[in-house]
Structure 1
Amino acid sequence: MKNSELLHAIVQNAIDGIISIDAYGIVESINPSACALFGYEPEEVIGNNISILMPAPDKGQHDHYLRRYQVTHKPRIIGIGREVTGRRRDGSLFPMRLGVSEVHYNEQTFYVGFIHDLTQQKQAEEQLKDYALHLEELVETRTQSLNDTIRALEVAKEQISHSLESEKELGKLKSRFISMASHEFRTPLSTIQLSASLAEKYGESAGVKEISKHAGKIKASVTSLTAILNNFLQMERLESGNITAANAPFDLRELAVEITEEMQQLAKTKQVIRYTHEGDYAMVTLDKYLVRNCIINLLTNAIKYSGDDGRIGFHTKTAADGCTIEVQDNGIGIPEEDRKYLFGAFFRAQNTGNIPGTGLGLNIVARHVALMGGSVSFTGDARRGTIFTLKFPKA
């Protein structure tokens, strides 16, 4: 391909408009992109003054601009380029970037203009200005709203501060009341427990079975009431943040045997608590007091909700990844619709009937387990009973 053919092909297929004029401003050539941009056919432009593509006042001043350059050689567009306005055949105007080069060929001077349509760019700029203006208005509105909110928050803060002070005072009064009430209850309960034990002892020695029977009922009631008081005290200490996990090594199997013997005394007449351990060792690092409290709560529930002659399973397991504690009853099971609420404070399943309870035990267990970094779960149904599982990762 010859150089002239290559140049012609480049000009004809250029994206931007390209127009050449002679020294008098007469159009020598115009490429398809320029024709499309201005809305003319080539024969309508070629041979005419370039000013037909310009709006006023540039239309009437163009020849003067051209002669001035030819005399002074001081460029205003030629060799520099700038943004100007073009005029289409239909009279509409559009922004464009115009770059003009001076070309000398065969002892003649020509000027070649390169035209880039700026319509979309200008529209984008206008949209950006609108967005910026809208954003400023929005920021001003939001700032005003924020200031109003801050003022409202300051007022609310003062009100909340007063409310918190009142709440703190109420909390202190509640804590003092629970502690005082527990102390006042414990003293007569201890006396009743001791008197019942003595009455039972003297009744056995005198051969009066009825005394022993009623003394046993008194002792069971006192034990139940003491457990309720202990749960309320535990809740108060948990709510006030006075309980933390003091983990230390202890023998889990030894603790479990001790608790089993203790709880067997409180079980129903024919109930049996069967304890088993799995693992080559029994040393764990947890809070012994909290673990003990959790196990006692679970075994108390197992005794309460199991049948009179039921077998209660109690199992501990130690392994490389931690330890597990399980308590299984053969009781009434937990209704499906109640399971998601089971560990909530003061919640009791709908099938508990007249079985006494406060609904605090499992909530306390869950919170104690959480303090030690463990988890609690349960499985089972009314046929097989329920298995509660406490899992603790290795310390």
Structure 2
Amino acid sequence: MEKARLLKAIIETAIDGIITIDNRGRIESLNPAALRLFGYALEEVEGKNISVLMPEPDRSGHDGYISRYQTTGEKRIIGKGREVKGLRKDGSTFPFRLAVSEVQYDDRIIYTGFIHDLSREKEAEERLREYAAELEELVEERTKSLKKTVKALSEAKEEVSLSLEKEKELNQLKSRFVSMASHEFRTPLSSVQLSASLIDKYAEPYDNTNIRKHVSKIKNAVGNLTTILNDFLSLERLEAGRVEPTFTAFDLVKLAEEITEEMQMIAKQDQNIIYQHTGLQSMVLLDPNLLKNCMINLISNAIKYSGENTFIEFNTEINDQQCIVTIKDNGIGIPESDHKYLFQPFFRAHNTGNIPGTGLGLNIVHRYASLMKGDLYFESSIHTGTKFVLSFHK
């Protein structure tokens, strides 16, 4: 009796549903878990055929299942459990795993079904399938997007390669043109310069002010054109990477004195270039041609942007750490708003007015200084003048 009560308590509290039917398929009992699963009260289904708890097609074929079970001995198959669907009172269905046992009871045979609800497992599986489908779709979209990006990159690479090839050809054409133009222009300019000098000489006996004035204009124009040609040729050589410094030991003071004498000849009226050297040493290891170009360019700017009756300070210094070249004028100065653009090619300060220039000189000087591992910096304010400093570490 105690064992019977224990067995009943186990059945009543079991998590899975337990149902018993007779050999004709009529329901004899359902435990509380089974009643909750199907949504019935026991009196609603007791005595009814088990097919009432089955959706089609299992409902119609249930009696055939029992018959085959009884006549062909499919006990092992049924006993293993199989996945089926149940029909609730409200008409909805749910999946469950059914295992059937044959029980001998009071000289008769009854069948006990153990029902394990699979709703949560099926929902989880469905969610996993949905996630997998979403992931697959996302991967497919990303793959398409990646393929599209790769194709675009490939096309862009081809375009860039073609563009670089065209740019290379254009640079070669430009290089040839600049070299040719430089050569072709220099010859007539030299002739014009020589002719102007001869006219000036032949006109001396006449002491004609107008002749001297116009000859001077011709010489200045030729000088400006020559400067422009030199700037463009220098820029082209820099852009083509054809400027390599040749470091040579030379006398800086001697070079600076020669430049001072040369530049004084083209200075304005009563414009004086004052050269001074500081230090006991005079030998440096730099590229004399590049340094000469830098100094001439900076002194030319000082002459150009300073008025008559002014001084241009030209200083060199050699100490244990550095070689320093300084050119200082008291000309028009550079507006502060233009300072950050000053070394860009073709840039000219806004206060230069009609003063001729290409805007290339300072860019070239800056790049020449860099090639010699040096620095170029300046100090300037409008109407007070400008100081440029070239410095090279020893």
TM over 0.5: same fold? yes
The letter for the 2-side match of 1:181 is A
SS in 2 for 1:314: strand
Partner of 2:168: 168
The 1:349–1:383 alpha-carbon spacing in structure 2 relative to 1, beyond 3 Å, is closer
CA distance in 2, matches of 1:343, 1:317: 24
Extract unaligned runs of 5+ from structure 1.
Answer: 1-53, 58-132
Instruction: List aligned pairs for 1:225-240, cutoff 5 A.
Output: 225-240=225-240
Partner of 1:184: 184
CA distance in 2, matches of 1:324, 1:139: 64
SS in 2 for 1:307: coil
Matched-pair contact (CA < 8 Å) for 1:249–1:285: yes
Instruction: List aligned pairs for 1:216-227, cutoff 5 A.
Output: 216-227=216-227
The letter for the 2-side match of 1:186 is R
Matched-pair contact (CA < 8 Å) for 1:201–1:212: no
CA distance in 1, matches of 2:138, 2:274: 72
CA distance in 1, matches of 2:283, 2:15: 97
Instruction: List aligned pairs for 1:13-92, cutoff 5 A.
Output: none
Extract unaligned runs of 5+ from structure 2.
Answer: 1-13, 18-132
Deviation per residue, 1:60-107 (Å, 9 max, x gap): xxxxxxxxxxxxxxxxxxxxxxxxxxxxxxxxxxxxxxxxxxxxxxxx
The 1:147–1:204 alpha-carbon spacing in structure 2 relative to 1, beyond 3 Å, is same
CA distance in 2, matches of 1:332, 1:189: 30
Matched-pair contact (CA < 8 Å) for 1:278–1:316: yes
Partner of 2:388: 388
CA distance in 1, matches of 2:182, 2:138: 60
1:136 Cα offset (Å): 10
Partner of 2:288: 288
Partner of 2:267: 267
The 1:138–1:303 alpha-carbon spacing in structure 2 relative to 1, beyond 3 Å, is farther
1:206 Cα offset (Å): 4.7
Partner of 1:159: 159
Partner of 1:351: 351
SS in 2 for 1:228: helix
Deviation per residue, 1:309-339 (Å, 9 max, x gap): 1100111111111211111111111111111
Q: How does the TM-score come out when normalised to structure 1?
A: 0.63
Deviation per residue, 1:158-216 (Å, 9 max, x gap): 22222222222222221111111111110100001111111111222454444333323
CA distance in 1, matches of 2:190, 2:135: 74
The letter for the 2-side match of 1:154 is S
| 1:321 pairs with 2:324 | no
Q: How does the TM-score come out when normalised to structure 2?
A: 0.64
CA distance in 2, matches of 1:242, 1:162: 24
Rg larger in 1 or in 2?
Answer: 2
CA distance in 2, matches of 1:298, 1:363: 11
SS in 1 for 2:229: helix
Partner of 1:245: 245
The letter for the 1-side match of 2:168 is K
Partner of 1:119: none
CA distance in 2, matches of 1:353, 1:324: 31
Partner of 1:361: 361
Partner of 2:306: 306
Partner of 2:194: 194
CA distance in 2, matches of 1:55, 1:298: 98
SS in 2 for 1:388: strand
1:141 Cα offset (Å): 6.6
Count matched residues: 278
CA distance in 2, matches of 1:275, 1:137: 79
1:267 Cα offset (Å): 0.4
CA distance in 2, matches of 1:369, 1:262: 22
Identity over aligned pairs, percent = 57
CA distance in 2, matches of 1:244, 1:136: 59
SS in 1 for 2:314: strand
Matched-pair contact (CA < 8 Å) for 1:203–1:209: no
Task: Report the aligned-residue RMSD.
Answer: 3.1
Task: Select between 214-223 and 359-368 the one with higher mean Cα deviation.
Answer: 214-223
CA distance in 2, matches of 1:279, 1:390: 16
